[in-house]
Amino acid sequence: MLQHRPRWWPRFTSTLRSTAVTSRLGLALGIAIASLFVTGLLSHYQYEPWRWLPVPASPAWGYRVTQGLHVATGIATIPLLLVKLWSVYPNLFRFPPIRSLRRGLERLSVAVLVATALVQLATGFLNVLNWYGFGWFFPPVHRFLGYVLVGSVLLHVAVKLPDIAYGLRARLPEADVLTEVPWNENPHSHSNAGTLPDPPTPGISRRGMLAAAGAGIGVVVVTTIGQTVTPLSPLGLLAPRQHNRGPQGVPVNRTADQAQVAAAATAADWVLQVVGPRPYTLAPADLERLARHEARLPISCVEGWSVGAHWQGLSLLEIVQQAGGSEDSRVQVVSVERVGYNHSFVDGPQLGAALLATHLNGERLDLDHGYPLRLIAPNRPGVLNTKWLQRIEIVP
Ligand SMILES: Nc1nc2c(c(=O)[nH]1)N[C@H]1C(S)=C(S)[C@@H](COP(=O)(O)O)O[C@H]1N2
Ligand SMILES: [Mo]
């Protein structure tokens, strides 16, 4: 085996990298990943709640906040991860590449961590842009990768604990006392990013570099957060959605044309079928008569955009009681749509609060928003607010 690194082997001379820098970036990244994990688990529960723990109806904006945080944090984590990787990637070019089995395994666990993080953030971001062209169903893969990611972060933190403790104690602006030591040879450990003295004429200090990274992340967040924090939407230059772009001042996730429902939803013989112990149907004229309930509720998409709106419609619970159901019923609402997100379940506290909406922001529901009738309920992922309803079923 080669004893000395060959001349062509890459060398890294930037003195901006140090254990102090890397550990601070790592701390921020760890906090971001922890909050992504918590809000991600909440999102999963909201999407597929346990039968014995139905989702509460209040606060109505619950999902709006947790999912808004999840997506905003995920977007902020992309530049943060890139800076963190920049701060350690010379480790890839240590010489000799593999020194021991133990180190080889450690490198492998870092490879899993980095690969998972990159795939997770990249596919999550494509999702935020409403691009689902992966050929696999996103939610279970995203959740599984979340577990792998958190597991490998914990392993990484455990392995690096001495370096992290050293790095967080090390002062940032100065060299970490180790002069004459190559960047990757910190005597306190054999696995950290190492240190270098400050350059004689620094172009940017380590502290300045961290501040610049923080400012960049701030810009990314401020220019995208408007898609869910409505007062900030004028700043949302990079936001995938604008709160007021779309019919009736609400964005549309999937139009009637895309869902291929226009004909069925506007058919002259459309009626709402209510299925239960005492089944019946409601005609369009009945809807007008029964649409006496109003609520201000957000549409909060899993993709991270959300907007509050004024809704008017029928009480789902009243319709269900009329068919012989009760507050304790589990109800399935079914769309005229043939495939896709064409049904959802309502039970527990949300059943009492749910509307079958006929009007949005004071106007008869636009075809793209679910005409003639759609579900809207508080504290609920947008995807479960089924549009273009055809049938209400009390699940036996
Ligand atoms: N039948 C049906 N309902 C649906 C969808 C759909 O594709 N088909 N999309 C859902 C999604 S993902 C969201 S975010 C909301 C968006 O409602 P909007 O298009 O009225 O804003 O509708 C939901 N209801
Ligand atoms: Mo959505």
Q: What is the pLDDT along the chain (396 residues), one digit of tens a residue?
A: 556 888 898 888 787 888 999 999 999 999 999 999 999 999 999 999 999 999 999 999 999 999 999 999 999 999 999 999 999 999 888 888 778 998 888 899 999 999 999 999 999 999 998 888 888 889 999 999 999 999 999 999 999 999 999 999 988 754 443 333 344 444 444 444 445 555 555 578 888 899 999 999 999 999 999 999 999 988 888 888 877 788 999 999 899 999 999 999 999 999 999 999 999 999 999 999 999 999 999 999 999 999 999 999 999 999 999 999 999 999 999 999 999 899 999 999 999 999 999 999 999 999 999 999 999 999 999 999 999 999 999 999
Q: State the ligand closest to the CA atom of 306.
A: 1
Atom of ligand 1 nearest to the CA of 246: 21
**Which tokens in the block code for residue 46?**
């909201």
C-alpha 240/C-alpha 98 separation (Å) is: 44
User: Which residue is closest in CA terms to ligand 1's atom 10?
Assistant: 383
Ligand showing the shortest atom-to-Cα distance for residue 259: 1
Q: What residues flank ligand 1, with Cβ below 6 Å? A: 250-254, 259, 299, 301, 335, 337, 340-342, 369-370, 382-383, 385-388
- The residue nearest atom 23 of ligand 1, judged by CA position, is 383
User: For position 201, what pLDDT does the model report?
Assistant: 52
Q: Give the helix/strand (H/E) hosting 148.
A: helix 138-169
Give the whole-angstrom CA distance, residue 179 versus residue 75: 38
Q: How far is the CA of 291 from the centre of ligand 2 (A)?
A: 25
Residues 6+ apart with CB under 8 A from 119: 145
Pick the closest to residue 393 from 236, 272, 271, 221 (CA basis): 272
Best residue among 43, 375, 383, 390 to mutate for probing ligand 1, ranked by most atoms within 8 Å of CB = 383
Distance 226 CA to ligand 2 centre (A): 17
Q: CA 288, CA 15: separation in Å to the nearest integer?
A: 71
State the pLDDT at residue 2: 57
If you take atom 20 of ligand 1, which residue's CA is the nearest one? 369
**What would the DSSP string read from start to end of 49-102?**
--TTSPPPS-STTHHHHHHHHHHHHHHHHHHHHHHHHHHHGGGGG-SSS---HH
The three-point CA angle 359-362-363 to 5° equals 60
> Of ligand 1's atoms, which has the minimum distance to the CA of residue 335?
1
